[in-house]
Amino acid sequence: MKRLLRVFAILLVTAAAVLPGTPASAYDGAFFHTQSSGNRGADVLAIQYLLQAAGQSAPADGVFGSGTVTAAKAFQTAKGLTADGIVGPATWGALVPTLREGASGAAVKALQVQLNAKRRLSLAVDGVFGGGTADAVRAFQSHAGIGADGIAGPTTWKNLVWHYDYPDWSANLCDQDPDGNTSANWATAAAVGQLEAAARSFAATGQGKVPYGDSGWEHGGSIGGHASHAVGLDIDIWPIRTGSDQCTAGRITWQSAAYDRAATRQLVQAIRSTASGHVALIFFNDPTLINEGLTTQYANHDNHLHVRYCEKVEPSGGSYDC
């Protein structure tokens, strides 16, 4: 009976994966997102567990700090790779093992972290590749159109790491969709993790939640009204109001009487400090913040802040390369 229920659950998830708007073969251009010092999020946490599985001493906090840099360099040296502490495609490829039901250890934790983040699951991150993890792997493989054998090999890992992440609203965020893009909340794991960290930091000021506007679709591509939101590294947020009610009272511009420049400045500073070296720019037309070097002028950005994150290696290039 349990096996029948598991098969039925897989069929349901597979059917949902091919509904309009969620193409079954979404990842023809899948790649391993490069992670480096200053990054945060599920991809960083997975790297840390994979480094542990490879015998390196790495923390497991989802923050790519000095300890993770040191562990990455040691691993790269052991594998004959360039020891720069940057986890790009070659290092990812050397880190990810082939895992199947019955496996255990830190690498399985990395897989579980990825499945939870990229498919909005709640698997126990216990390092045990049991039936629940096997089902989740098969469901993801069906979702990605890569063959549902339940074995996490190189292709599954690459597609899973590439897949976008979804924000945790409990991280002092509220969901706002001003342009009707109600499901355009997805972004790379690093972008999501870094904005969540900024929102948690901003919570300490007691000035309300951070309104999260449009970011991107689950599998990338341009969204309505935002041609640049295509690679998972652009996230729109709203400025802060004097009453700290920005999540309920509506969007304002920097010219509005209800605009709180001091609080918005604190939010921008939190965004920059929690993503050291990974903020390409922040579009927002408040001339004071522009003069302070915190934001950049751009047409049609009077009523929202457009945060663009960057990576050390990003195939789209341009302003997405740090």
Q: What is the mean pLDDT of residues 212-220?
A: 93
pLDDT at 268: 98
pLDDT at 22: 38
pTM to 2 decimal places: 0.91
Contact status, residue 41 vs residue 33, Cβ threshold 8 Å: no
Q: Is 10's pLDDT higher than 50?
A: no
Q: What is the mean pLDDT of residues 27-41?
A: 94
Three-state SS for 53? helix
pLDDT at 15: 37
pLDDT, greater one: 70 or 227: 70
pLDDT, tens digit, 9 for 90 and up, residues 45-93: 999 999 999 999 999 999 999 999 999 999 999 999 999 999 999 999 9
Question: Which has the closest alpha carbon to 233: 57, 43, 8, 23?
Answer: 43
Residue 72 sits at φ, ψ, to 5 deg, of -65, -45
Three-state SS for 263? helix
pLDDT at 178: 72
54-63, 118-127, 177-186: which has the minimum mean pLDDT? 177-186
Q: What is the mean pLDDT of residues 291-319?
A: 96
pLDDT at 53: 98
pLDDT at 26: 54
Residue 226 sits at φ, ψ, to 5 deg, of -140, 80
**Beta-strand (E) ranges in 82-222?**
173-175, 210-212
Q: What is the mean pLDDT of residues 155-182?
A: 92
Per-chain mean pLDDT for the chain: 91
Q: What is the mean pLDDT of residues 17-45?
A: 75
86-90, 119-123, 221-225: which has the minimum mean pLDDT? 221-225
Question: Which has the closest alpha carbon to 150: 97, 100, 114, 102?
Answer: 100
pLDDT at 7: 36
Amino acid symbol at 228: S
Q: What is the mean pLDDT of residues 125-144?
A: 98
Q: What is the mean pLDDT of residues 106-127?
A: 98
pLDDT at 225: 80
pLDDT at 227: 79
Structural domains in the chain, sorted by start: 2-162 (1.10.101.10), 173-320 (3.30.1380.10)
pLDDT at 46: 98
- Categorize the per-residue pLDDT at 24 as very low, low, confident or very high, splitting at 50, 70 and 90: very low
Number of C-beta neighbours around residue 45 at 10 A: 25
